[in-house]
């Protein structure tokens, strides 16, 4: 059972962000690029990896559609064809809460691998 439940999800296509407001009053504005590179899919998470696979070149990615999955998650369909991650409410909340740490680590990993956010 999820501890956190969204009360509103708004996709802002021009700014490529997803705004999520939870029942505890916290609102997170999450870039589509961030949601894509931290996808909970097996393609990105692997099976039991300590951190996600490094996905680069997604600066301009956007979300084409959001599909509800029961009462516990959403499936985000990205315009690069990625559509296999199910973002449950607690995972989405954690992405918002831990954005600064996650994003800083991601940027450091990109730099260390000689990769870029650009396609």
DSSP 89: H
Parent domain of 85? 6-113
Residues 53/44, Cβ–Cβ less than 8 Å: yes
CATH number of residue 59's parent domain:
3.30.2020.30
Number of structural domains in the chain: 1
Q: Which residue has the tokens 């996600």?
A: 52
Instruction: Let me know if residue 118 belongs to a domain.
Output: no
Instruction: Let me know if residue 108 belongs to a domain.
Output: yes
- Strand, helix or coil for residue 20: strand
Average per-residue pLDDT in the chain? 94
Would strands 17-22 and 27-31 be described as parallel, antiparallel, or unpaired? antiparallel
Phi, psi of 9 (to 5 degrees): -125, 125
User: What proportion of the chain, given as a percentage, has pLDDT over 90?
Assistant: 87
Q: Each residue of 72-90: pLDDT tens digit?
A: 999 999 999 999 999 999 9
> Rounded distance, CA 37 to CA 16, Å?
14
Q: Each residue of 41-62: pLDDT tens digit?
A: 878 887 777 777 999 999 999 9
Q: Each residue of 26-44: pLDDT tens digit?
A: 999 999 999 999 999 878 8
- pTM for the full model? 0.94
Residues 40/86, Cβ–Cβ less than 8 Å: yes
């Amino acid at each position: 059972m999820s501890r956190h439940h969204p009360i509103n999800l708004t996709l802002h296509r021009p700014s490529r962000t997803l705004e999520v407001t939870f029942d505890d009053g916290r609102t997170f504005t999450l870039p589509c690029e961030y949601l894509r590179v931290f996808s909970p899919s097996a393609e990105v998470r692997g099976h039991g990896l300590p951190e996600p696979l490094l996905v680069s070149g997604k600066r301009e990615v956007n979300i084409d559609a959001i599909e509800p999955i029961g009462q516990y998650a959403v499936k985000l369909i990205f315009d690069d064809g990625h559509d296999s991650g199910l973002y449950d409410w607690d995972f989405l909340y954690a992405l918002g809460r831990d954005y600064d740490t996650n994003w800083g680590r991601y940027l450091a990993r990109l730099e260390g691998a000689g990769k870029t956010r650009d396609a």
